[in-house]
Structure 1
């Protein structure tokens, strides 16, 4: 019988990436081993955290250690987030430009979340996942 106190341990290593596409590559490689599917959006990242796609089952307790999270906090901070929103606005459809402009305005005024904060919030919204910022 498996020890029920033993959580699956997943490590996200910030030294392996410095931007959002790099983050998606990193989480794809650690969460989606042996699958052809890759994470490419915030919604896609949220979806794989439900489990059943890669290295853990749906609802299985897991622990994610985000190594060098301070580096990611800077890499995926204000500037990266502003660029992320500006690119979506420039691209237009299918994005909700009004909503994205509001998010950009909030960010600039100091009320909005950075990409790092959004990613942390997505992880923390999954009750079976313990996040450790290292």
Structure 2
């Protein structure tokens, strides 16, 4: 039996709310499914609420609204927050990515989250509705 997790995209106003919404969708109220991109990717691999055999689907409702909330502005906000504690070898890359995001170019957080879901789950798991 395949489990379906529903992301209520109308509740997503930024990255912090995405962590809350996805955590609750998979693990119930107050649930956790990562609070950063790496932890999220790890959690999708199974054993943190999702079935280890990856027999689940994710329906992301109102994804267009989420895409706007997780767009370039939110991406720039995240990158600006990462810069002060970035390792010196990553600083120039983050500065370039931040400049691109501020200019409205490059991948957004929405793009990154969708990519993580597609990379870490079985083909056809994600349904943008």
Output the TM-score relative to the length of structure 2.
0.84
Tell me, what secondary structure is at the counterpart of 1:65? strand
Task: Please report how far the alpha carbon of residue 78 of structure 1 lies from its aligned counterpart in structure 2 after TM superposition.
Answer: 1.0
2:85 — aligned with what?
A: 92
Contact 2:14 2:74 (C-alpha < 8 Å) held by counterparts: yes
Distance 1:126 1:62 in 2: 12
CA deviations on 1:10-32 (whole Å, 9 max, x unpaired) are 10001222110000011111223
* SS of residue paired to 1:10: strand
1:122 aligns with 2:116: yes
1:71-90 matches, within 5 Å, as 71-89=65-83
Unaligned runs of at least 5 residues, structure 2: none
Residue 41, structure 1, aligned to residue 36, structure 2: yes
- Determine whether 1:18 maps to 2:13: yes
Q: Does 1:59 align with 2:53?
A: yes
Cα shift readout 1:27-84 (whole Å, capped 9, x = no counterpart): 1112234887552101111111001111x32232211000000000100001111111
**Structure 1 CA distance, aligned partners of 2:53 and 2:122?**
6
Cα RMSD, aligned residues only: 2.4
Larger Rg: 1
CA drift of 1:94 comes to 5.2
Tell me, which stretches of 5 or more residues in structure 1 are unaligned? Answer: 1-5
Task: Assess if the C-alpha contact under 8 Å between 1:104 and 1:112 holds in 2.
Answer: no
Contact 2:6 2:61 in 1 (8 A): yes
Q: Which one has a larger percent helix, Structure 1 or Structure 2?
A: 2
